[in-house]
Structure 1
Amino acid sequence: MSRINQIQKIYFIGIGGIGMSALARYFHSKNVVVSGYDKTQTQLTKALEDSGIAIHYHEDVDSIPKDVDAVVYTPAMPANHAELMYYQTNGYTVVKRSDVLQWISESSFNICIAGTHGKTTTTSMIAHILRHTGYGCNAFLGGIAANYNTNFWSSENNVVVVEADEYDRSFLKLSPDIAIITSMDADHLDIYGTAEEVENAFIQFSQKVKPGGCLITKYGLARASEFEVPDHCTYSLNDSLADVHVSNLIVVNGSYQFDVMNQYWKVDNVVLHMGGLHNIENAIVAISVAKYLKIDNEKIKAAVADFKGVKRRFEYLLKTEKHVLIDDYAHHPTELEALISGVRSLFAGKKLTLVFQPHLFSRTNDLADEFAVSLSKADEVILLPIYPARELPMAGVTSELILNKMTLVDKQVLAKEAMLEWIQVNKPELVVMAGAGDIDTLLQPVKKILTTD
């Protein structure tokens, strides 16, 4: 019997995380008794509670179940968390999310999507195509798929589509049949120390591909010569030297239409309703996987056309003649650059106002120069204070660190309330809100302001 099948009761510390909540849904679907803790109540935790999962929001050993078969915790949880320490010191099976994904994927056909950015949308596209076409898969997503309003679904087909997270080197516990690497830029330097170590981890991930498996990577990645998987396919938006690329790209009624080309096959007249040129590249990957699995062209095209995107990934909150409001999870300089480029490809001529909330003191400190370059490509920028997440403040590290390096003239740092007041006074026509913190709590107030002028 596998380790997964032996679990009848399970407890999650940090159950409200996007990856943790997907695992909680998985066990709940298997009729396992699921419960958990998180620091604050969110829409995600409310949805879990509505499904019958018990959650509490105060760190309290007296409130936790004592008869559980396994305890799962997020690496973002402090090591001195009282509940975590209780389970660790009292003989319980205490594991990270990545360990559980390893258990789940031990005996399945696995499609694992890695990358410092792009992986959530790519994972969601692949899983959507497999579901929409009837191929079937078990999906563990790092975001909420707009088509289904969930980050997890199951299938009778023993195929797992999973986001392979590089944080804490979690993805090295997976065994891909198909491995995808969308990018491997410097990030999580609090874990890796150097950009070279980040790259080393991705190369190690590529070496996890099972014999006879396939590796798909973005064309032009650093150290690409070190990828040694025999079946290795590269992709690019417009570089014909890549194995798979796009041709005949046009914008029709605010959507992209294009052909996807390979030496051996072609999928023509693909329509993608999701904005952002980077999302065309994500679609290339998803289509390549579908072709590898021998799914019919017409079914693939119908699935892509039906893809509604991922919550907080180039998500339109408002789109009228007077105002456009776009929400995106971008929290790395490369992601911001891709986001700005994507917005400009669809809204050429409109003044682009970007509201950005830096995420983590360490990332801000490590990448301040790069953030300044990317953000300066907008027309005007409002920086919110840094969202700390799991970190304590760092001396001298504030949003002003980025601001002072920016070449843009129209730039400022504003607290949340001051930002809303600025929106109220200026009513900008094209607003993009980006960040991985709690900036999403400001979306509806901004939308309300822009729809009441």
Structure 2
Amino acid sequence: MSPSVPPTLDRPHFIGIGGAGMSGIAKILAQRGARVAGSDSRESETAAALRALGVTVHVGHDAAHLAQDATAVVVSSAIRPENPELAAARERGVPVVHRSDALAALMEGTRPIAVAGTHGKTTTTSMLAVALTALGADPSYAIGGDLDAPGSNAHHGGGEIFVAEADESDRSFHTYAPEVAIVLNVELDHHANYASLEEIYDSFETFVGKVRPGGTLVVSADQPGAVELTSRVRDMGDLRIVTVGEAEDADVRVVKINPRGLAGEVTVLLDGRMLTFTVSVPGRHYALNAVAALAAGIAIGAPARNLASALAKYTGVKRRLQLKGEAAGVQVIDSYAHHPTEMAADLEAIRGAAEGGRVLVVFQPHLFSRTRELGAEMGDALALADASVVLDIYPAREDPIPGVTSAVVIDAARAAGADVTAGPDRDAVLDAVAGMAKPGDLVLTMGAGDVTDLGPRILARLGS
């Protein structure tokens, strides 16, 4: 057993090992020498990438998949109590470890940077991982999405820095004790776990309170929720606070953002000096994410100018405005956006890159609880597109809620003046999009569910 593997995680079994967060932890453990196994509901490229590392991946859930010598079963909050492998572990007395506890154990002995916020975590974590790698720091990292290939969401590095996405959805980010914490924004989301915005603030305060003594909080100076959080933690212990954004009083102030098609250039005022660097993805919100990454990297010890240049090496992460291809003069782009703020930000970014073409959206609402609470705002966001097709709600881990359907979004979008149609039949959606799209248009598949699968099919239909 490698000394860097906690004994409990020497022979772990992951339930839902194909998930973005779970697969990353499994990958790092395998790279550290643990004998990793797990199961997932379906075959995937991620499963194949894990097998290439020597991980045993079963398809389907069955108590027989749990090895007799398993030292722990790792679960996320999405795993239900009746899962047969989880039930078998409890019956046999095998320790059950939450994903966040496993990740926290891997961070021990490192200098962690934890990236939190309602939106932008994956992108900002990825930017830091890519930039620090380019500088030769060889950081370990765990990201909620793949950088450029299945399995590229995590890495066991030889350096002392560990960059991790910190998930607030189930309060699991309270487990971490970072040297540097980033809070990009604070908004009400995850309605199944938080009853109010006040509960969200309390949760983020707890997260900030976990920062190591003498550590740094990098926080937005622009977003109202982040500004409110800053006021609440201003006098918290031995904590250095660095504000970033376009506000006049920001410690790292964004002076200018210049869009350049599917990229951009940002100028910041840092310690009395102007610093300009390229961001190789479109949109103001991605430029602001890059500035937060810059501030966090500086806080951990990276030279500012070198880090700024290295940030240009980041060219995107899967499902975050990812170009899937072009056919018949139409570009198809995939967006993970599922909260109204994210939707509006991505649509504005794409609008800026459309260069006269139309923006057409295939949107899939994610979660019944989120659609119930934010469906009207989702509809408002779709008004930023030239035309949209709305699929049925992707349930993920939730059971249906009576009366909550994608019609909540569609009705709100139409009330906002949007051109929107329902798309319950996917073959009909393909025909509708192919019929609408003209050379120069951009088609955006948007949502956190399996709407991403439609991108290649739309390209195939356009090219036929």
Match of 2:455 in 1: 443
Count of residue correspondences = 450
The answer to whether residue 249 in structure 2 is matched with residue 241 in structure 1 is yes
The answer to whether residue 225 in structure 2 is matched with residue 225 in structure 1 is no
Q: For residues 129 and 221 of structure 2, what CA distance do their matches in structure 1 show? A: 23
Match of 1:421 in 2: 431
Secondary structure at the aligned position of 1:12 is classed as strand
Supply the AA of the counterpart residue of 1:378.
Answer: A
Work out whether residues 171 and 205 of structure 1, in 8 Å CA contact, stay in contact via their aligned partners in 2.
yes
- Aligned-residue offset at 1:147: 8.0
The answer to whether residue 405 in structure 2 is matched with residue 395 in structure 1 is no
CA offsets 1:207-264 (integer angstroms, 9 cap, x no match): 111110000111143323102354111111x333322232243234642122122234
**1:5-20 alignment runs, 5 A limit:** 5=7, 7-20=9-22
Q: For residues 140 and 57 of structure 1, what CA distance do their matches in structure 2 show? A: 23
Match of 2:350 in 1: 343
The answer to whether residue 294 in structure 2 is matched with residue 307 in structure 1 is no
Q: For residues 394 and 299 of structure 1, what CA distance do their matches in structure 2 show? A: 51
* CA distance 1:321–1:212, shift in 2 (3 Å): farther
Supply the AA of the counterpart residue of 1:56.
Answer: H
Match of 2:421 in 1: 412
Work out whether residues 131 and 313 of structure 2, in 8 Å CA contact, stay in contact via their aligned partners in 1.
no
Identity of matched residues, %: 33
Q: For residues 105 and 168 of structure 1, what CA distance do their matches in structure 2 show? A: 19
* CA distance 1:440–1:210, shift in 2 (3 Å): same
- Aligned-residue offset at 1:6: 5.3
Q: For residues 266 and 90 of structure 1, what CA distance do their matches in structure 2 show? A: 61
- Aligned-residue offset at 1:155: 1.6
Supply the AA of the counterpart residue of 1:311.
Answer: K
Supply the AA of the counterpart residue of 2:125.
Answer: T
Work out whether residues 147 and 309 of structure 1, in 8 Å CA contact, stay in contact via their aligned partners in 2.
no
Q: Which moved further from structure 2: 210-219 or 39-48?
A: 39-48
Q: For residues 384 and 75 of structure 1, what CA distance do their matches in structure 2 show? A: 26
* CA distance 1:22–1:328, shift in 2 (3 Å): same
- Aligned-residue offset at 1:145: 1.1
- Aligned-residue offset at 1:289: 1.9
Work out whether residues 218 and 234 of structure 1, in 8 Å CA contact, stay in contact via their aligned partners in 2.
yes
Match of 2:218 in 1: 216
- Aligned-residue offset at 1:265: 4.5
Match of 2:292 in 1: 285
* CA distance 1:410–1:445, shift in 2 (3 Å): same
Q: For residues 322 and 105 of structure 1, what CA distance do their matches in structure 2 show? A: 46
Q: For residues 283 and 130 of structure 1, what CA distance do their matches in structure 2 show? A: 13
Q: For residues 106 and 297 of structure 1, what CA distance do their matches in structure 2 show? A: 27
User: TM-score normalized by structure 1?
Assistant: 0.94
Work out whether residues 11 and 36 of structure 1, in 8 Å CA contact, stay in contact via their aligned partners in 2.
yes
Supply the AA of the counterpart residue of 2:445.
Answer: M
* CA distance 1:61–1:253, shift in 2 (3 Å): closer
Q: Which moved further from structure 2: 192-201 or 159-168?
A: 192-201
Match of 1:375 in 2: 382
Match of 1:160 in 2: 162
The answer to whether residue 264 in structure 2 is matched with residue 256 in structure 1 is yes
Work out whether residues 106 and 175 of structure 1, in 8 Å CA contact, stay in contact via their aligned partners in 2.
no
- Aligned-residue offset at 1:446: 1.1
**Structure 2, unaligned runs of 5 or more:** none
Work out whether residues 32 and 156 of structure 2, in 8 Å CA contact, stay in contact via their aligned partners in 1.
no
**1:86-235 alignment runs, 5 A limit:** 86-146=88-148, 150-220=152-222, 221-222=224-225, 223=228, 224-228=230-234, 229=236, 230-235=239-244
User: TM-score normalized by structure 2?
Assistant: 0.92
CA offsets 1:5-46 (integer angstroms, 9 cap, x no match): 454311001101100000110111012111111111122122
**Residue from 261, 265, 281 that aligns with 1:274:** 281
- Aligned-residue offset at 1:151: 0.5
Match of 2:23 in 1: 21
CA offsets 1:103-137 (integer angstroms, 9 cap, x no match): 12233211000011100000000111111111221
* CA distance 1:369–1:423, shift in 2 (3 Å): closer
**Structure 1, unaligned runs of 5 or more:** none
The answer to whether residue 337 in structure 2 is matched with residue 325 in structure 1 is no
CA offsets 1:294-349 (integer angstroms, 9 cap, x no match): 43344324322221111110111235893222111101111001111111222253
Q: For residues 395 and 443 of structure 2, what CA distance do their matches in structure 1 show? A: 24
Q: For residues 330 and 120 of structure 1, what CA distance do their matches in structure 2 show? A: 12
Supply the AA of the counterpart residue of 2:139.
Answer: C
